[in-house]
Amino acid sequence: MNTDVIKESTVKEVIFIRHGKPLSAHNEKVNAADYASWVRNYNKSPLDPASQPKQKIDITGSYIAVSPLLRARLTAAQYGATSIDEELPELREMDIPYYKLPFTLRSWHWVLLSRALWFMGTKGRFESFKLAKKRVEKLSFHINKLSEKHPRVVLFGHGMTNYYTRKALMKSGWQLKQKDSDFWGITILQKNG
């Protein structure tokens, strides 16, 4: 007679919700000094009232964590999160780099150029790419620990941090079920527990 006990498998979920579009996310032509101001304003900006989610999921009963940056906290509030279980400093966006270069470019072109230099290891007065990846590894470890107690973890965060955290979680056995990296985008990972 087979006496093995069959354990019922539960599906765990980690849901990343990227913040809504910041009000300051304009794309004007700026020089390096103006771009540095653009970055500072972006980090302090409220949400654009015209920016609304394309889709919403029910977050009732989920463990909810937010980045400490204003745009993530405002997104959680607008999304209907009535209480936050944890504010995670590791969930903040990977610093948007800025360099003193003799150009005038559109703001988002500055972001692309600066990120490219940042990926290559160009240093500045901001978090390095190497340190940002270490922070994300720490975050993914914490999320794995949270998922042991909470079957559904919802994180209100940022594009780059969400991307690299998702990659780290997938290396530890999580499977991608849905991906959207746009403003208000929802990315869902699942794992049998």
Q: What is the DSSP letter of 183?
A: T
| Cβ(70)–Cβ(47) below 8 Å | no
Is pLDDT of 4 > 90?
A: no
Determine, yes or no, domain membership for 100: yes
Q: Is the dihedral of CA 52, 57, 58, 62 positive or negative?
A: negative
CA distances from 21 to 2, 48, 50, 113, 156 (A): 57, 6, 9, 21, 13
User: Is this structure's pTM higher than 0.85?
Assistant: yes
**What is d(CA 7, CA 63) in angstroms, rounded to the nearest whole number?**
24
Determine, yes or no, domain membership for 177: yes
Determine, yes or no, domain membership for 138: yes
Burial of 96 (0-12, 13-18, 19+ CB in 10 A): buried
* Pairing mode of beta strands 29-31, 104-106: antiparallel
The parent domain of residue 168 ranges over: 11-192
Q: pLDDT tens-digit profile of 89-146?
A: 999 999 999 999 998 999 999 999 999 999 999 999 899 999 999 999 999 999 999 9
Determine, yes or no, domain membership for 122: yes
Q: pLDDT tens-digit profile of 5-56?
A: 444 568 999 999 999 999 998 899 999 999 999 999 998 999 999 999 988 9
Structure tokens at 84: 């936050």
Q: Give me the CATH number covering residue 151.
A: 3.40.50.1240
